Structure 1
Amino acid sequence: MRGMGLALSVGENDHFSEDLAALSGALAAVGVEWREPARSAGPSASAGFPYGYLHHLRRAYVLHLYDRPVPPAGGTAREQLDRDAELVRDETTMLSSHLLCHSDCAGFYVPVDFAEPLFLDEQAVAGGGMVGSAQRLLAELVACAPAIGIAVAADGTVGPEQDAIPADDPYEVEKFTWYGLYRACRASIATGHALVFC
Structure 2
Amino acid sequence: MACDLWLVPLVDVLCHSPDNPFSEEIAAYDSALAEAGLPTVPVFSYMPGLSGDVAPVAGFDYDALHFLRRAYLLRLCGLEVTPVDELGGDYEQLLEMFETTAQQSHLVWHYDHAGAYVPVDFPHPLANDELLAGGGPLGSSHGLLRDLELVAPALGIDPANPPAAPAPPAGPTSLEERAGAAPLDDGPFARERHVWLGLHAAATRSLGQGSMIVFS
Q: What range is the shorter-chain TM-score in?
A: 0.7 to 0.9
Listed as ranges, the gaps of 5+ residues in structure 2 are 11-19, 168-182
* TM-score, normalised by the number of residues in structure 2: 0.73
1:20 touches 1:36 (CA, 8 Å); kept in 2? no
- For residue 85 of structure 1, the aligned residue among 92, 102, 112 is 92
Instruction: Tell me the distance in 1 between the aligned counterparts of 2:149 and 2:50.
Output: 22
1:58 touches 1:88 (CA, 8 Å); kept in 2? no
Return closer, same or farther for 1:139/1:185 CA change in 2, 3 Å cut-off.
Answer: same
1:98 touches 1:136 (CA, 8 Å); kept in 2? yes
Instruction: Tell me the distance in 1 between the aligned counterparts of 2:157 and 2:109.
Output: 23
Indicate the SS of the match to 1:143. Answer: helix
User: C-alpha displacement at 1:158, in angstroms?
Assistant: 2.3
Structure 2 residue aligned with 1:59? 70
What is the total number of aligned residue pairs between the two structures?
Answer: 186
Instruction: Tell me the distance in 2 between the aligned counterparts of 1:123 and 1:35.
Output: 15
Indicate the SS of the match to 1:114. Answer: coil
Amino acid at match of 2:79: R
Matched, 1:49 2:60: yes
Structure 2 residue aligned with 1:35? 41
Structure 1 residue aligned with 2:178? none
User: C-alpha displacement at 1:30, in angstroms?
Assistant: 3.0
Instruction: Tell me the distance in 1 between the aligned counterparts of 2:146 and 2:92.
Output: 22
Structure 2 residue aligned with 1:11? 8
Residues 174-197 of structure 1, C-alpha deviation per residue, up to 9 Å, x if partnerless?
Answer: 011101111111111112221111
Instruction: Tell me the distance in 2 between the aligned counterparts of 1:124 and 1:88.
Output: 18
Instruction: Tell me the distance in 2 between the aligned counterparts of 1:134 and 1:92.
Output: 21
User: C-alpha displacement at 1:125, in angstroms?
Assistant: 6.8
- For residue 119 of structure 1, the aligned residue among 103, 117, 127 is 127
- For residue 138 of structure 1, the aligned residue among 145, 168, 190 is 145
User: C-alpha displacement at 1:110, in angstroms?
Assistant: 1.2
Structure 2 residue aligned with 1:101? 109
2:116 touches 2:214 (CA, 8 Å); kept in 1? yes
Instruction: Tell me the distance in 2 between the aligned counterparts of 1:10 and 1:56.
Output: 23
Listed as ranges, the gaps of 5+ residues in structure 1 are none
User: C-alpha displacement at 1:103, in angstroms?
Assistant: 1.2
Instruction: Provide the identity percentage.
Output: 38
Runs ≥4 residues deviating over 4 A:
42-45, 162-165
